[in-house]
Amino acid sequence: MTDAPYTPPKVWTWDKENGGQFASINRPVAGATHDKELPVGQHPLQLYSLATPNGQKVTILLEELLALGHSGAEYDAWLIRIGDGDQFGSGFVAVNPNSKIPALLDRSASPPIRVFESGSILLYLAEKFGAFLPKDIPGRTECLNWLFWQMGSAPYLGGGFGHFYAYAPEKWEYPINRFAMEVKRQLDVLDRRLADSEYLAGADYSIADIAVWPWYGGLINGVLYNDSATFLDVGSYTNVQRWTKAIGSRPAVKRGRIVNRVTGDPASQLHERHDASDFETKTQDKIAKAK
């Protein structure tokens, strides 16, 4: 980093080496970079994902739906390694032209229905199965308020604070302070809401909680962005702490958050999920023992 201020050029040009940890996969154009068909399993719902916070939203909801007895929510979860550029394969781009995980293909319809963007997937599944989304207009609207709050807010947490605090090649005070202030404001928004309500949309657990928990619950639990939980003093948000613990204790959440996970404790990594029994037999610790 130089002491001289940056002066933007008249016309921006792409520097392939710029971008730190993600320089190898970030680019200013869309579309496929290589031909690769997606695998297809036996279930109607085919999920192509990775256990980032956005990916966890969908696997948590699917596990919650199965726990309620919705057999039609059975799914195959295929691993998309975004660090390797799997999201730029032709098959994936055909499902999600934006080349971001998660992406869902519902093969119970003819022709199959593609669903991309995590919020859209949550809403699609909640409506398809009639669960985790209030049916009355005021309740449904409140749920969607918080669902879309997450869509608009999390980029400041991830692409803003997370990038500059944990991933940028150098530490810069201005962007870290700017985004830390915004994330703390967001945590205060959540804390004030959860002081008055058990869950975000009201008395009942919903897709609003499922959308928000992997991001802000992950921050509270100290699993995002190195020591950011200490830096942001997340312990002071007591209502968010209570909510985070309550959701994290749900069995379906415990299952959903490890699907397509490739980091951390091997017992918490289920690279692919094709059957409910996979949680007992195919986590990475079990696979290692079987070798």
pLDDT tens for residues 184-205? 999 999 999 999 999 999 999 9
With contact defined as beta carbons under 8 Å apart, do 61 and 207 qualify? yes
Residue with tokens 């919650």: 64
- Smallest CA-to-CA distance from 33 within 90, 98, 97, 96 is with 90
User: Greatest CA separation found in the chain?
Assistant: 61
Q: What pLDDT is stored for residue 23 in this prediction?
A: 64
With contact defined as beta carbons under 8 Å apart, do 184 and 190 qualify? no
CA 274, 277, 283, 286 torsion-angle sign: negative
H-helix or E-strand spanning residue 196? helix 173-196
What pLDDT band is residue 6 in, cutting at 50, 70 and 90? Answer: confident
What is the mean pLDDT of the segment spanning 126-138? 98
With contact defined as beta carbons under 8 Å apart, do 270 and 263 qualify? no
Q: What pLDDT is stored for residue 1 in this prediction?
A: 47
Q: How many residues does the chain have?
A: 291
What is the mean pLDDT of the segment spanning 59-83? 97
Q: What pLDDT is stored for residue 27 in this prediction?
A: 85
Q: What pLDDT is stored for residue 268 in this prediction?
A: 97
What is the mean pLDDT of the segment spanning 7-12? 93
The mean pLDDT of the chain is 95
What is the mean pLDDT of the segment spanning 117-140? 98
Cα–Cα dist 86/49, whole Å? 10
Q: What pLDDT is stored for residue 22 in this prediction?
A: 66
Q: What pLDDT is stored for residue 3 in this prediction?
A: 59
pLDDT single digits (tens) 10-46? 999 988 766 666 667 788 999 999 999 999 999 999 9
pTM for this predicted structure? 0.95
pLDDT single digits (tens) 200-246? 999 999 999 999 999 999 999 999 999 999 999 999 999 999 999 99
